[in-house]
Chain A
Amino acid sequence: AQSVTQPDIHITVSEGASLELRCNYSYGATPYLFWYVQSPGQGLQLLLKYFSGDTLVQGIKGFEAEFKRSQSSFNLRKPSVHWSDAAEYFCAGGGDYKLSFGAGTTVTVRA
């Protein structure tokens, strides 16, 4: 079955430091992968998506993600974190009729 796993439940990072969130997928065919961000009590906002082609994908808010087929990973990165990046981040894989979500990673930003 297709699935997405986020190994880290919670990450704390200092403002201005770099951030990397891990996502592993299990798909037989070419995966269609997404990263969403959710602020407390809000809906999900799309950060970026990967369908095919260039394995380094640029998104909004200064985020990027790299697709690595050999490692079955689609990790999200940001070079310098801002306090407003504190949120929950979800990796998701496109299925025939639904998105399969990871459990999410909560990011805390300390001053």
Chain B
Amino acid sequence: EVQLVESGGGLVQPGRSLRLSCAVSGFTFDDYAMHWVRQAPGKGLEWVSGISWNSGSIGYGDSVKGRFTISRDNAKNYLYLQMNSLRAEDTALYFCAKEISRAMGSAGFDSWGQGTLVTVSS
């Protein structure tokens, strides 16, 4: 069974940092691209970042570019999102998601975690 379990969310002050993790199991992790998608309370889905199977291709949404860094550890089956200079507008439920293919951005996300909540507030 495919499982994606996010962790690392919480309450953080504006300007501070947070690192999210996503532990995966049930599939060959290094065969697939991975993504982070967020959803602000009561709002729609926003793609945050994606990484190809071998970390050779990485992308970011405009609102997080230069502040967030995605990475993966294929040996440990983990996906990460380092979030710096956090803002109130980064408050959201953060999902990790598995792409259907190795190549990033070619098709849909067929497995999702349940999300970890990040709240940025003083």
| A and B assemble together | no
Interface residues of B (CB under 8 A from A): none
Interface residues of A (CB under 8 A from B): none
